Structure 1
């Protein structure tokens, strides 16, 4: 065999020390985020009325939604690695500061509100940068595997973060929980600082423009792209139909069926199991052939499972259906992320990621009050079915757009 016949063999992402350092940093940072939110919730409830606590908790979400698109511009301008490190450093300092404040005094609800605003603003920078970072550390053929590993890391963070936060509150109150979150953010920093970054074509100096011009250029790029434009529509429709039933709707359904809080826990555990299994499959396989077609079909089939949740009569059946929802949603979500990262010009990746994230955490949650009111008026069946129809419309749209249906992930 001649030298020209030899092709470099990519190291699988789960054997790459550089990617494993990134994964460790992402895991501890996300776990810190879980602990922080539990600490903030507990401190807000202890410091004010339930209505006031709800306002404090809503401030972060509002700031994230308002600043998310700008966060994508920042990630593209300064590089996602710098933004992720800076975000975790700011979160570490802020959370350790509020931990010290709570340990020494009772500052009142306004301090928690200020922390929530700062955290929401930092999250608006952090989330697009996290989505734009994998192409800097992994070869294009490994990006699907990295998405699977990220999904597994998130599930670990969910399983560890809530009990860890609860234990910290039980042992030392809100101050201890905030301190634990701050230490976790601090732990991510040395791991991030040791990452080796892959050079990208956009590392060259580029023309200086205004932030508004960068944002409009990014939106124009998405609109004109043959895969990313349709993919953003699919993301918007699937998220809008998915989050209402799986958040507010699930609690109301469990109450109507008499399953109680334990029932919600079991159904969510089923969803987490299915999503974790999807992430594991993608981590092991590394590539799903005909990714655009599989993505569209899993969204459409997942919508059927969402509708079925409202009609199953028993808790075991609901758990089984939720496993199916998690499996299909986990696979489609990972493929959305992988296709975004492989199709997008690196110069626009932060802005494109911010648009997809904006739909997930900015627009889709607006359906929560509508879902709750609709379930109260008509019951879970019609509401879950209507939401599932919106979600299915995303899958059908993906199947109808040839460029997205034929989209492929790079070969390893």
Structure 2
């Protein structure tokens, strides 16, 4: 199989200026923030419309519908990102999401289609996300220098925190003023706002010199590309271990910090406000980690720091189920957010800096598969386990799984010694 060679470091699409002062990166960041806020508005609108149209269990099924195609198609999405270029894929994906939610808004205005429309919309979003997420992970390496990728991860984290803070109130306001149709229309507007910004993002000359869109051409087609990508990961001393670390840490983190936290707050009598304080603490810690990376731009001994923070964050997850009150839980959540935010950003930066540009979409698809595809499918298992054994046992067990990820990283000489470029 013939693949495009790696971009030489001297020819990389980087400017010398820091990423937070690079207009090209800032255009990408604006597009990402607009799209992420739109995501939050969309989920508020979808959940509200589903609850109004059906029973709570039916609404839950609608909300979970997007996870299945996302899990099944994510690896193929990485092939698409590498073949057609991440910028082109992001433009097409956000355009498709804009059209889908706009169509849903119009249908809700003129008729009462019921749950089938919402389920179809959720499935469409799952399919599009499977293509969008690998492209989102692959694009930064094509628009800035390798030495700026950790800073870009910090900037992305800050934009994600902003989207969570702004998106939910905007979605609620849209629902309050005009129902789910108005909120869907607002989400469509936000997705549309990302398109001119993405169109204005420029790919570096070396990346643009590849096959159209930075594509990787293989005579065997998409299946051959996927096999080649998986073989590349298996043979890479850092990425092979890093994918396992990401898988274990995500499987141990996502369940308790989503479904488990709600059940913990209910069990302890903290109520919705108490859960809100815990989530606020987590968001504050994650935001601080993103701000740290944005300011510093680089963390020395990234592989070692990554592994240690995963292990320490896992211990904090387990401790969350044993704290005596909401204040202590919020304080622990700050630590979880700080550690998880730092380890997650370092994972992203190492994926981008250690991957050959010809394979980065497929590598991103594997790393996203666990956090965005497989891990959400464990939500029902988390709920069932809490019902059988209680929150303390489930949080402790999840922490053990997460600790295994950190230990695996510490036991791998290649990953433990991985460094981010200067």
Query: Is TM-score (shorter-chain normalized) higher than 0.5?
Result: yes
Task: After TM superposition, list the pairs within 5 Å mapping 1:172-191 onto structure 2.
Answer: 172-191=178-197
2:130 aligned with 1:119: no
- Cα distance in 2 for partners of 1:9, 1:62 equals 39
CA drift of 1:199 comes to: 3.2
Structure 1 moving runs of 4+ over 4 Å: none
> Match of 2:249?
238
> Match of 2:356?
345
CA drift of 1:373 comes to: 2.2
2:276 aligned with 1:270: no
* Contact 1:136-1:199 within 8 A present in 2 as well: no
2:395 aligned with 1:384: yes
1:91 paired residue among 97, 101, 107: 97
CA drift of 1:9 comes to: 8.2
> Match of 2:73?
67
Paired residues, what number?
404
* Contact 1:200-1:346 within 8 A present in 2 as well: no
> Match of 1:300?
311
> Match of 2:177?
171
- Cα distance in 1 for partners of 2:44, 2:414 equals 43
> Match of 1:211?
222
CA drift of 1:376 comes to: 2.2
> Match of 1:369?
380
> Match of 1:4?
none
CA drift of 1:257 comes to: 1.1
Q: Secondary structure at the match of 1:107?
A: coil
CA drift of 1:107 comes to: 2.0
> Match of 1:280?
291
> Match of 1:3?
none
Indicate the larger mover: 31-40 or 43-52.
Answer: 43-52
> Match of 1:47?
53
Give me the TM-score of the superposition, normalised by structure 2: 0.93
The verdict on how the C-alpha distance between 1:191 and 1:202 changes in structure 2, with shifts beyond 3 A counting, is closer
- Cα distance in 2 for partners of 1:401, 1:148 equals 25
> Match of 2:214?
none
**Residue-by-residue CA offset, 1:32-75 (whole Å, 9 max, x unaligned):** 01111111111111122223222222221111111111100100
* Contact 2:67-2:376 within 8 A present in 1 as well: no
- Cα distance in 1 for partners of 2:36, 2:177 equals 22
- Cα distance in 2 for partners of 1:201, 1:172 equals 45
Q: Secondary structure at the match of 1:288?
A: coil
**Residue-by-residue CA offset, 1:139-194 (whole Å, 9 max, x unaligned):** 11000000000000000000000000000000000110000000001100111111
1:409 paired residue among 400, 407, 420: 420
Unmatched tracts of structure 1, length 5 or more: 1-7
- Cα distance in 2 for partners of 1:147, 1:231 equals 17
CA drift of 1:82 comes to: 0.3
